[in-house]
Structure 1
Amino acid sequence: MEETVRLLWGPPAGPRRGPKPALSLDRIADAGVGIADAEGLAALSMQRVAERLGKTKMSLYRYVPGRAELVALMVESAIGEPPGAAAGTPAGQGWRERLGHWARSQAAVFRQHPWLLDATLGARVMGPRELDWTEEALGALEGTGLTGAERLDAVVLLTGHVRGIAQQTRALAGPAEHPQEPEEPEEPEGPEGSDEAPEDRLASVMRRLTGDHGDRYPALTGALAEAAARPEERNQALEFGLERILDGLEALVTARSRA
């Protein structure tokens, strides 16, 4: 843990005598991110990163002591700056708009780097950028009348929704990330195969099942048929859940303001 804290939080190592270091932590992290983006976190190893950088595995250990510290650096690199730090971000928005933008930006990061879903689990050392994301969401809720615990729980609730949709989307989009153990290809579940949106693929499977067992599942059959007839409402799970969470928070904030 101490090594991870040092790598993520510094202070950076001072100048050393001798030749200029051939690598930097940023280059090492970027190489790891490239592997994980292409093949999943299971494919990541110190050896693979060294090969990608044209270096030996032993030379990599001069900068990063092991895989766990490497993953921590990759998370810090991939997660990027929180959305409020971006140039051109609209100012003067209310807490609801700010949190909505924050949650959608988080979902975009998970879509770009699905392996972050696995790398950001459990008790671990988080880097400055990752804490910046939490700080930004909590800052949006300041002055709403919510207690500190409620503000923290609100951020956890939003993150849990975003993560849940991202995990389901990843699972529906393809096989679990085990690139070193390829599975036999499966027949596509729907008429468009993998060209379908992930939620549409799931709906295709469910429609096939309810087509033969509709009497047992009349409510499900009816909901699927209505959804199929209104394509503009499909694949909106992220937005639907996000808006309902924000509705609930708004009701609580309003109640506190009246108290």
Structure 2
Amino acid sequence: MADEQWGAAVRLLWGPEPSAKPARGPRRGLTLEAIARTGIGIADAEGLGAVSMQRVAGELGVTKMALYRYVPGKAELVALMVEAALPVPDASAASAGSAGSAGSAGSVEGGWREQLGVWARALYAGFRRHPWLLEATVGVRVMGPRELGWMERALSALDGCGLSGAEAMDAVVLVAGHVRGIAEQGRAAGVTADGDAGPDAQLAVMLGEVMRVRGEEFPALGAAMASVAEHGGHDEALEFGLDRILDGLGLLVARRVGGGSS
């Protein structure tokens, strides 16, 4: 059953690239990379809902039936797009500190914390660059080598920290969930570039007039907004939440490495 449901995507993502020839005429120069990049271009401009086999075929100048010789359906097309759109996991992050060889909680923390921080920010940048990835990377589905490489990179950072396999997996899910949540907020606010006003700044503008008239009913909110306006701090939720998550993991790592109870 699993092979019937996901076999085609597994073969496309993990196997050799298929070679298809039209029944008549010269061979068309289609590649899986070109197909994926065409889908990515459509999704970047118009959203994932605009991607279809017919649309991609038209952009490539071939018939939909010709495209089916390479990709059997939209699910497999989106899987190829995800694999091509995700940035390559930064190998330098894994070598920033050797968690497995550290001999104390402090040295272990320095390695894994830096690595997970780099990992989280790079993942966030990928979601900002291609917001449709947030929609395309949910649920049970086939993942390609690059996407699994992201999971491998994060889990490798926690190697030697004293966590069980389940705890390490949960830690990665926790960090990724925070990144996704902040990226979703930015997507909803239409943030697609570093220069765009983030959701916090947009919220402040939207609430400005309301707070001017009815601010006395919401004194805590008014005080927080006034503080942000005076001292800054707009749209720093990614770093704030990431630091708090890593702080909590640091306490657990310190107990495990130091031989304390869980």
- After TM superposition, is the score higher than 0.5? yes
C-alpha separation in 2, matches of 1:99 and 1:113: 21
Identity of aligned residues (%): 56
> 2:148 pairs with 131, 141, 154, which one?
131
Contact 2:119/2:154 (<8 A) preserved: yes
Partner letter of residue 255 of structure 1?
Answer: R
Corresponding position of 2:244: 244
Q: Distance in 2 between matches of 1:68 and 1:258?
A: 47
Partner of 1:22: 29
| Amino acid paired to 1:91 | S
The separation in 2 between residues aligned to 1:82 and 1:213, in whole angstroms, is 48
Q: How does 1:1-259 map to 2 (within 5 A)?
A: 1-13=6-18, 20=27, 22-84=29-91, 91-93=95-97, 94-173=111-190, 196-231=197-232, 233-259=233-259
Provide the secondary structure at the position in 1 that maps to 2:71.
coil
Change (3 A) 1:78 1:89: same
Give the conservation status (yes or no) of the 8 Å contact 1:141–1:151: yes
Displacement of 1:90 in angstroms is 8.1
> Aligned-pair RMSD on alpha carbons?
2.2
Supply the distance in 2 between the matched residues of 1:147 and 1:203 (Cα, whole angstroms).
42
Q: Structure 2: any 5+ residue segments left out of the alignment? A: 1-5, 98-110
How many residues in Structure 1 have an aligned counterpart in Structure 2? 236
Using the size of structure 2 for normalisation, the TM-score is: 0.84
What code does the residue aligned with 1:119 have? A
Contact map agreement 1:207 1:221 (CA 8 A) in 2:
no
Normalising by structure 1, report the TM-score.
0.85
Extract unaligned runs of 5+ from structure 1.
Answer: 175-193
Distance 2:33 2:174 in 1: 32
